[in-house]
Structure 1
Amino acid sequence: MTGQEFAAWLAHRPRVLDGATVSELLRQGVQAAGQLWGVGAILQAPEALRELHAAYAAAGAEILTAATFRVAPYSLARAGLEARAGELARRAVTLAREAAHSFTPPPLVAASWTTLEDCYRPDLVPPPATLLAQHTATAQVLAAADPDLLLLETFNTAQEARIAAQAATATGLPVVVAFACSSDGRLLSGEDAAAAAAEVTLPGVVAVGVNCTRMTDLLPALLRMASATSLPLVAYANNAWFAEDSPHLAAAAVAPERYARCALAWLAAGARLVGGCCGTTPAHIAAVAAALSTHSG
């Protein structure tokens, strides 16, 4: 799919993105999913991963996100898996594609990736030369797995997002960019979300927005972005909290119906692509799909 084709698809009506992968697998008891935030599921629980993709498609998701969030040579090197980056990317995209093909029309498949370092630590962002080399390597690995689009998510600085977006658009695939933000309409780095959206409004980027942000905090940043870019907006929030004694998400915070009401507010702010991040489930995506269907109709 070309960027123009994706833009036309998105312009036709609001679209539904899927929900959380790793936190949902952990909730289901698939502990392997926590290893490198999804890589363990590709290796040890592929059937559970495929079934979750299918559950999101059945709920109404029109884009399924392959479990490639940390399938980057930079991240995999820490576990001695750098040489398997291409294999893991292909496996992840194939699992999502197999689930998609059980539905008519089949959902699109996105390959996602994120910051080189901790998504919540903008102070750890490497220097530009490292960013360029590593994000270029990741873009090439994921594009070779043949997804329909690339999803750059949970970025915490405009600089790293722009460099990653430049690497991603060089593949020729449509690119969506999403930032983690605070309640004040700023990135975790303190940068204005409007300025960040403008930074990644590049040829080949087809949407920009906010993800991995608390449901009640997402709207200010989205409104700031709407003032700075002509691109369609994407919005998918967290719906969970972290247990004090666990590195993983503990429980869902709100019911699907309340989450869907927030999604309608994001839609009113200009979002054309709405889904869920950590802590959301197929039930949340079904509620979003129903709400968007009623709104569009």
Structure 2
Amino acid sequence: MRDLRAALSDGPLLLDGGMGTLLESRGNDVSGNLWSARLLRDDPDEVRRAHEEFVAAGADILITTSYQVGFGIQLADDEVELLLQNSVAVARDAGARFVAASVGPYGAVRADGSEYTGDYGLSRTELRDWHRRRLEALASSGADALAIETVPCLTEVEALCAEVAELGATAWVSLSASSTGWRPGELADAFAVIAATPGMVAAGVNCCAPEAVAGALALVPPGLPGLAYPNSGERWDAQARRWEGDAGIPTDGAQEWIASGARIVGGCCRTTPADITRLAAMLGR
């Protein structure tokens, strides 16, 4: 494991982009409930090659393809354990400077859209119980940090942070700024919980429109590095069934995020290695 916290103190680090987007563009089917994790099981070399594209584009940090892998829902426990460990090994083999083990919200594993609402009907204690085994497995996998991402509600933030504190892990938490699960003021409350949790190296937002980033970063408490990896600037037109608008991460926006305290910047859904290359050029890489 490498010291991600120390690297962040030296300056911004570049994250990768949308793995599902890249794998699909390479001709793979990622439409099932396991999303890109299916390829981790069936064709790990293809996952490694996709990771390598992001490294070649300039990414300092790779996020593993474990986002939708969890115990007790889709797969046998021994297969889940193996996939979690392999997700880190495959990313490491791609030559990444840092590897962050993806921990998606409970709703991501259910694959029913509740990751965007936080509407689970579970208590904080129940969420702690459900997340515990996966967090333990990924914390022992050799990853440099846990990438706890797309968290849609305060209750799940509290549950995850309590588990990270008990585990003594290094982690970041990224909130889903587009979730309908946030009541007024709760984004700030969530960032305060994250900042008070030992082992946290950064906090911010992902899987949201680029224009939602700046306002969210303004809520991150001073002293805690920010992170931002939004979706591309496109919007899905459900009636026309097509993406519209300008694709990519706005480099002027990314410069603003860094000026506001972001130390990890990259992309989420529908962002590509080309987007990461542009961000790397902005950073003078």
Shift of 1:49: 1.1
Shift of 1:173: 3.2
Shift of 1:171: 3.5
- After TM superposition, the structure 1 stretch with the greater mean CA deviation from structure 2, 210-219 or 190-199, is 190-199
Deviations 1:231-256 (A, max 9, x none): 0000110114446389xx96585354
Task: Give yes or no for contact 1:198–1:229 (8 Å, CA) kept in 2.
Answer: no
- Cα 1:37–1:165 shift into 2, 3 Å: farther
Shift of 1:229: 4.1
1:60 to 2:58 alignment: yes
Partner residue of 1:254 out of 246, 252, 262: 246
Match of 2:143 in 1: 147
Task: Give yes or no for contact 1:42–1:92 (8 Å, CA) kept in 2.
Answer: yes
Partner residue of 1:175 out of 166, 171, 178: 171
How far apart are the structure 2 equivalents of 1:259 and 1:14? Answer: 16
Match of 1:26 in 2: 24
How far apart are the structure 2 equivalents of 1:262 and 1:93? Answer: 30
How far apart are the structure 1 equivalents of 2:278 and 2:207? Answer: 19
How far apart are the structure 2 equivalents of 1:243 and 1:34? Answer: 22
- Cα 1:60–1:278 shift into 2, 3 Å: same
Partner residue of 1:138 out of 134, 144, 149: 134
- Cα 1:12–1:114 shift into 2, 3 Å: same
Task: Give yes or no for contact 2:17–2:273 (8 Å, CA) kept in 1.
Answer: yes
Partner residue of 1:199 out of 193, 198, 208: 193
Task: Give yes or no for contact 1:33–1:40 (8 Å, CA) kept in 2.
Answer: no
- Cα 1:135–1:78 shift into 2, 3 Å: closer
- Cα 1:271–1:42 shift into 2, 3 Å: same
How far apart are the structure 1 equivalents of 2:211 and 2:25? Answer: 22
Deviations 1:92-134 (A, max 9, x none): 111101101xxxxx41111011211221022225212211111
Match of 1:103 in 2: none
SS at match of 1:154: strand
Match of 2:120 in 1: 124
Match of 2:111 in 1: none
1:85 to 2:80 alignment: yes
1:109 to 2:102 alignment: no
- After TM superposition, the structure 1 stretch with the greater mean CA deviation from structure 2, 19-28 or 59-68, is 19-28
Structure 2 counterpart of 1:83, one-letter code:
D
For structure 2, the residue ranges without an aligned partner over 5 or more in a row are: 108-113
Deviations 1:130-162 (A, max 9, x none): 111111111112123221110100001122112
How far apart are the structure 2 equivalents of 1:252 and 1:286? Answer: 22
Structure 1 counterpart of 2:105, one-letter code:
T
How far apart are the structure 1 equivalents of 2:32 and 2:251? Answer: 27
Shift of 1:262: 1.6
- Cα 1:42–1:96 shift into 2, 3 Å: same
Partner residue of 1:216 out of 206, 211, 216: 211
Partner residue of 2:224 out of 225, 228, 231: 231
Shift of 1:269: 1.4
SS at match of 1:142: helix
How far apart are the structure 2 equivalents of 1:178 and 1:29? Answer: 29
- Cα 1:251–1:108 shift into 2, 3 Å: farther
TM-score w.r.t. structure 1 length? 0.85
Task: Give yes or no for contact 1:86–1:145 (8 Å, CA) kept in 2.
Answer: no
Structure 1 counterpart of 2:277, one-letter code:
A
Structure 2 counterpart of 1:115, one-letter code:
P
How far apart are the structure 1 equivalents of 2:147 and 2:244? Answer: 24
Shift of 1:60: 0.8
Task: Give yes or no for contact 1:30–1:45 (8 Å, CA) kept in 2.
Answer: no
Shift of 1:86: 1.0
SS at match of 2:87: helix
How far apart are the structure 1 equivalents of 2:238 and 2:55? Answer: 33
Indicate the percent of aligned positions where both proteins have the same amino acid. 30
Q: CA RMSD in A?
A: 2.4
